[in-house]
Amino acid sequence: MDLVIEGRFYINGSIKDTSVGIEDGKIVTIGNIVRGGDERIDLGNRLILPGFVDPHVHFRDPGFTNKEDFRSGTMSALFGGKTCVLDMPNNDPPAIDVRSLKNKKSTIRSKAYVDYGLFAALTPGCNTDLLSPMVCGFKLFMGSTTGNILLNDDEEIGHVMKDVARTGKVVSVHAEDDSMIIRGNESNNWDHLRDRPVEAEHNAIRRLSAYRGMKVNICHVTDSRSLELAASLGFTTEVTMNHLFLCADDSTAAYTKVNPPLRDRKTRDSLYKAFAEGKVTMFGSDHAPHMLTEKEQDYQSAPSGIPTVETDIPIWMNLVKHNQIPLELIVRMGAEMPARTFGINKGRIAVGYDADLIAFDMKKGTTINADRLHSRASYSPYEGMEAIFPDTVIIRGEVQVDDGEFCGSNVGEDVSGY
């Protein structure tokens, strides 16, 4: 056995003092007495969780590496307690065919500090059979956003969805009906909300009803009605901290401009209530960084997107500490369900799973300070909020963060194995 970890583990819904044996990057045994091990680590009273899996990040590599690259993005994920991220395809060039995917994979392979998977964008005529072995899933953009890979025609969607069904892969959907989006002049979040109404989200989900039974995941849901519609069709759902915590009247500046937009306070509160009741499958960060100079432009010119990959789990853990949200909910939605939905051997502390472990000293609280974060986006709308960052992060049995300091290397691997 390569390594034995001793401490307080979250296993099958409860916290227990035990030991975990690791060999070749996998958990091979769990028990009160695990003998041997080339190395033994006692994490004391820290709370040890499975590494979190983020099903929705935009690391901008290749093409927009002035905003973020895979090195800075995965380092941010690592310090935020994410041991695996799934990266979206709207790069430059976008990941839409074998050539662009191979180029992206070769570009990022040596940069990754956490494990990762890639999405391919669904475009008319794309060869899903060839793309399937290379990706964790496919992305359907029904609404305009960063990148020019919109697909909002029902006939064209039908063709590609039929092809995807043969592969068994998940289709993650940006569900905003582009025909209902207004291209108006915007000066604040309320204008952005006016131009991208919640009805566009509802209608996009309704139009997907023909694909009941397929593996469809509705990304960054902003409204509790959307959750109900998606659930009625058997789709999984994903929410972001942005739409659970922020709302349109929080700021008139473009720092919180995002697609889909922040909703009004009542809609936000209803979504949070549904989330707290366990009516959401999982959460993702939708980490979408831009340069501060871009976000400081006038609202109309500023790009949409908020950097969150390093801060959402630490904020959730602070809420867990103060009994404002159950630990079970956070682990299920942030680790177990993303891994299960996308068929990744992570997200649980159990024999046979990847030995991805993160440890929190729940007595060590801090506040969000953008200057101490690792993203190239040097700002955060969560500045000053209380948080608990992991002080130990282990990926496949390799310690990458120890006592809050980086001590590892670029060990990240592609979970598709391609």
> Domain with 377 in it: what CATH number?
2.30.40.10
Which among 119, 101, 98, 12 is positioned nearest to 62, based on CA atoms? 101
CA distance 239 to 227: 10
**Same domain, residue pair 238 and 277:** yes
CB count in 10 Å sphere of residue 347: 27
Which of 294, 321, 341 is the endpoint of a domain? Answer: 341
**Same domain, residue pair 105 and 184:** yes
What pLDDT score does 252 carry? Answer: 78
**Same domain, residue pair 284 and 325:** yes
In a domain, 9, yes or no: yes
In a domain, 417, yes or no: no
In a domain, 411, yes or no: no
Instruction: Please provide the DSSP assignment of 286-320 as one string.
Output: -B----HHHHTS-TTTSPP-B--TTTHHHHHHHHH
In a domain, 412, yes or no: no
CA distance 228 to 209: 13
**Same domain, residue pair 363 and 243:** no
- The two structure tokens encoding residue 173: 């959907």
CA 297 vs. chain centroid, Å, equals 27
Residue located via tokens 């409204």: 223
**Same domain, residue pair 141 and 255:** yes
Whether the model clears a pTM of 0.85, i.e. scores above it, the answer is: yes
**Same domain, residue pair 26 and 133:** no
**Same domain, residue pair 192 and 205:** yes
Phi then psi for 320, rounded to 5 degrees?
A: -60, -45
Which of 341, 374, 393 is the endpoint of a domain? Answer: 341
In a domain, 212, yes or no: yes
| Catalytic residue positions, numbered | 286
The chain-wide mean pLDDT, for the chain, equals: 96
In a domain, 418, yes or no: no
Integer CA distances (angstroms), 191 to 75, 226, 242, 323, 325, in order? 35, 21, 18, 36, 32
Sheet order of strands, 52-57 included: 52-57, 82-87, 115-121, 137-141, 170-174, 216-218, 236-239, 282-283
**Residue pLDDT, tens place only, 40-90:** 999 999 999 999 999 999 999 999 999 999 999 999 999 999 999 999 999
In a domain, 239, yes or no: yes
In a domain, 384, yes or no: yes
Q: From first to last of its 418 residues, what are the pLDDT tens digits of the chain?
A: 899 999 999 999 999 999 999 999 999 999 988 888 889 999 999 999 999 999 999 999 999 999 999 999 999 999 999 999 999 999 999 999 999 999 999 999 999 999 999 999 999 999 999 999 999 999 999 998 765 799 999 999 999 999 999 999 999 999 999 999 999 999 999 999 999 999 999 999 999 999 999 999 999 999 999 999 999 999 999 999 999 999 999 887 999 999 999 999 999 999 999 999 999 999 999 999 999 999 999 999 999 999 999 999 999 999 999 999 999 999 999 999 999 999 999 999 999 999 999 999 999 999 999 999 999 999 999 999 999 999 999 999 999 999 999 999 999 999 997 7
What domain range includes position 45?
3-49+350-406
Amino acid at 319: L
Instruction: Answer left, alpha or beta for residue 320, where phi above 0 means left and psi between -120 and 50 means alpha.
Output: alpha
Domain count, the chain: 2
**Same domain, residue pair 31 and 62:** no
**Same domain, residue pair 113 and 188:** yes
**Same domain, residue pair 182 and 311:** yes
Which of 341, 358, 377 is the endpoint of a domain? Answer: 341
Question: How many Cα atoms are found within 13 Å in the side-chain-facing hemisphere of 17?
Answer: 3
What pLDDT score does 38 carry? Answer: 87
**Same domain, residue pair 81 and 99:** yes
CB count in 10 Å sphere of residue 182: 11
What pLDDT score does 198 carry? Answer: 98
> Domain with 146 in it: what CATH number?
3.20.20.140
**Same domain, residue pair 13 and 84:** no
